Amino acid sequence: MGSALTSIGLPVALGIIMFGLGLSLRPADFARVAKHPKAVVIALVCQLVLLPALCLGLVVLFQLPPVLAVGMMLLAASPVAPPPTSTATCSGATWRSTSRSPPSTR
């Protein structure tokens, strides 16, 4: 049994965040995914297969205790968002990460 914060507050906050992220999507975003499905497949394979396999390799290499090994595997298997200082943009078929910088003062 958790506190009201963990059983009510956190799920509500997560729902609000997910709703806000969903509001920022446009039909063009879905069209871009349909136009370039290879990028989505590569990203999913890296996130769901490559990252946990790399983590397993590190756990075995460093012979971590079971508690740390399970924690690392859980973190590796969890989906993550990109850092807030960068966004993934698509320019034609070339994907690149761009940093948000302050506007020029010139």
d(CA 85, CA 92): 22
Task: Give the pLDDT confidence of 72-99 residue by residue, as tens digits.
Answer: 998 888 876 554 434 444 444 444 444 4
The pTM assigned to this predicted structure is 0.54
In a domain, 77, yes or no: no
Number of domains observed in the structure of the chain: 1
In a domain, 44, yes or no: yes
In a domain, 15, yes or no: no
Torsion 77-36-98-88 (CA) sign: negative
Strand 86-91 and strand 94-99: pairing? antiparallel
In which domain, by residue range, is 48 found? Answer: 38-70
d(CA 62, CA 41): 31
CA angle centred on 31, ends 27 and 34, rounded to 5°: 145
> In this predicted structure, what is the pLDDT of residue 43?
86
pLDDT at residue 6 is higher than 50: yes
